[in-house]
Amino acid sequence: MAAGRGEFFRSFLTGLDQASVWSPPDERRPVRGRGKPSRPGGSGGDKRSNRRPKGLCVSGHDSSWPPLETKAEFPKMKTPSSKENLLERLPHEILIKILSFLDVSSLCCVNHVSKLFNRLANDDVLWSHIYTSEFGSQSWRPKAAVDDVGSDPDRSPGRWKRTYFRSIEAQHLNKWKRQLRDISPCTGLPRQTEWVLKNLNVCWELTVCDSYGREATMEQSKVYFFESSAIVRWSGGSFPLYHHINSIQVHGVRKEPQHSPKDRKPCWRSLISKLDVKTFPGRYVGKDRVLKLMQLNSGFSVGVWRGTSVVAFIMVSLHFHRLVERSLLGSPVCPYSEPVDIPPVDDADPEFGLHGYALHFVLHSTGTEIMSGNFNLLSCRRVHIHHGLVELKVIDRFILSQHRPLSGSIKQTWKIESLEGAVENSCIITLTLLDEFQKPFWCVSAPTCLSRARRNLSSDYSGEQFVIEHREADGQVKMTLVWLKEQKQFFLISLTVYVSVRKINRHFSRTY
């Protein structure tokens, strides 16, 4: 065993002598390792470092153990005076050639490495090759010479990168916009709205802010699709107390498919609707055995457990008009701005904008459709404009042939896990008013309630009469119903739509 240890130390000292550089006697270098360098005169330092290990016999060397301060230090690696690494010292042409082998996502990551790589990763020549490989060659047309090159937008730095991402975005939008070109002649809305929303994995998130500034965001619990609207419900979340709710927001979110629960990625959120509850408080519309129902503006309904202020669920009714765009193309704080499509001015028609309307009307609850109908050739004369409203009579109470029965009772059904119920005299109206060019002019989807009429509006029926009304800035809806006790059925005997004159003047460029 002793011979083995001697052979080991002999080889170690041989390698140390070959690689060491001894310090001059007048220069003391710091010694690596444990202990401190000895002071001048040989005093100080670690006394154990000068001891020879017992049983160590080294042939061919001085018998005395070398002092610690004379031990050599391994040579230090010298760094170049320039802070640039070897990769950055390469010519820019070679670096661009190297970056050309990266894909778009990797190139965007390299963009944040340094200022040099930021400039190289945005090179127009590099992105022009990427654009050409993705979308093919571009046909160029001769342009007039521009004196100031910097003023030409086509020559601005980074134009090929911007063009590439704009083309990618346009390509993505065209995939689902093609599906929305098939317009239903009855509703004036795309037929495939529901299919596109489901195919794009679009869902809706609710954000509730209380009076203390705390926010709670939750995903949808249930969605009910109808011909021209969708009802979204949120339940089972940590809602604040009803009287503490300050504001409610609804965002459209496109969920990417997740392969595992850890793959959750932040998604773009598009603001659809925002309601200030303190400014526009809700109204009580009815109750059942376990909860009471409150109706708010902007299509919101809130269910509150009876005897408490605990929120059971929140629902919102969303009209299909531009719902895909509103759910995807808005920002988190600003909703999607609908493009203005102003029809041509018709000076030859003195009542342009007052005739040729068509209405698609649906009366429904969360689970069933109560009544649906299409009405054409709606019009109004200038003399019938009163209080800034244009009156469009859809069902006249004096024309019995226009009256129609309802297929079910008027009640708002709800279901939360194992609990379910129905609030009587509450429902949702969804209407789509089309102008004479068959374009959606006024779209509404909102909850409403049934109230008893103060007086009988029609003498043709002996049953009890009720009224349903909806009001907002762009117009009003009034309905009159009669309850036939023997048939146990509601009859709709009057339906009138009032449109704001200001809305008509702005759309048709008129001055009514």
35 pLDDT above the threshold of 60: no
Which long-range contacts (C-beta less than 8 Å, at least 24 apart) are formed by 449-455?
449/285, 449/286, 449/295, 449/425, 450/410, 450/425, 450/426, 450/481, 451/425, 453/480
Look at residue 494 and tell me whether its pLDDT is greater than 50: yes
Q: Which of 151, 148, 127 is nearest to 138 (CA)?
A: 127
**Residue 205 pLDDT class (50, 70, 90 cuts):** very high
pLDDT digits 0-9 by tens, 346-405: 888 889 999 999 999 999 998 889 999 999 999 999 999 999 999 999 999 999 999 999
Q: What is the pLDDT of residue 14?
A: 63
Amino acid identity, position 58: V
What are 132-191's pLDDT values in tens digits? 888 875 544 444 433 343 444 556 678 888 888 888 878 778 888 888 999 999 999 999
CATH number of 87-136+159-181: 1.20.1280.50
In the chain, list all ranges with CATH 1.20.1280.50: 87-136+159-181
The per-residue pLDDT for 13 is: 53
Asked whether 73 and 32 are in contact (CB, 8 A), the reply is yes
Residue 52: is its pLDDT beyond 80?
no
Q: What is the pLDDT of residue 60?
A: 44
Q: Which amino acid is at 46?
A: D
Instruction: For the chain, give every residue range classified as CATH 2.30.110.
Output: 193-256+266-328
Q: Is 116 a residue whose pLDDT tops 50?
A: yes
C-alpha–C-alpha distance, residues 339 and 331, integer Å: 16
Q: What is the pLDDT of residue 38?
A: 47
Is residue 200 within 8 Å of residue 175, measured between CB atoms? no
CA atoms of 169 and 148, how far apart (whole Å): 31
CA–CA separation, 346 and 510 (whole Å)? 10
Q: What is the pLDDT of residue 487?
A: 85
Q: Does domain 193-256+266-328 have CATH number 3.30.40?
A: no
CB 44 within 8 A of CB 31: no
pLDDT at 154: 53
Q: What is the pTM of this model?
A: 0.72
7 has a pLDDT exceeding 70: no
Task: Decide: 193 and 226 in contact? Cβ < 8 Å.
Answer: no
pLDDT at 511 > cutoff 60: yes
Residue 263: per-residue pLDDT: 54
**Residue 57, pLDDT above cutoff 70:** no
- CA–centroid distance for 79 within its chain: 50
Strand partners, 444: 431
The distance from CA 5 to its chain's CA centroid, rounded to whole angstroms, is 72
385, two tokens: 């404009």
Check if the beta carbon of residue 161 is closer than 8 Å to that of residue 127: yes
Residue 155, SS3 per DSSP: helix
